[in-house]
Structure 1
Amino acid sequence: MSLAAVLVWAQRDRGIAPSRDLPTWEYRHLQPQEIAPGAYQQVDWNLVISMGAQGWELVNVTPWVLRNDLHQQGKEGEPKLVTQNYMAFYFKRLRAEQR
């Protein structure tokens, strides 16, 4: 128990401000837009390319919206469940004052 108190006391001067030696980042994301209730539009790939041209690094791609639709296969068959994935793209780059 006293070891924990010593470790906490030793860290007291560090604070929460980042060190000037460490890089700081800015973040952006592109996400699908809802164009009507329950209807979405995929992120335009040209926007993703444009972010890279501006110095943004793509760090993650994740499903943003999963939409399940029933489609009729015909009069005899069961309805077919179709899943559509709408992806979101996450970027980072060094803050302007460090580039």
Structure 2
Amino acid sequence: MESISLKMTWAGTLNAFLALYERGDRKYAREQLINMARLADFGADAKEAFERIANMTDRDGNAIEMHRDELRAIARSTLSLLDPSKQDPTPQKIDAA
């Protein structure tokens, strides 16, 4: 059975949101673009955290097989980015040049 990815991507949705913005519901298009930008930022932060976990070394540069407290701290820090109270509810307006 073939599966279909429902994952939103910038490339897959940008044209639709731009069309909405230009010819339709600008508020909705703006909100969705802001949400996608936040998700993109979170994805970049999560990637960095996972790279830190994957490439952890001790003080001598040796790979660490398991360091529970530091792994938990990295995971908690990354997960805190998902907390809605940490997100700016009124993003700054970006002037189109």
TM-score scaled by structure 2?
0.30
Q: Which protein has the bigger strand share? A: 1
Q: Which protein has the bigger helix share? A: 2
Larger Rg belongs to: 1
Higher relative contact order (CA 8 A, sep 6+): 1
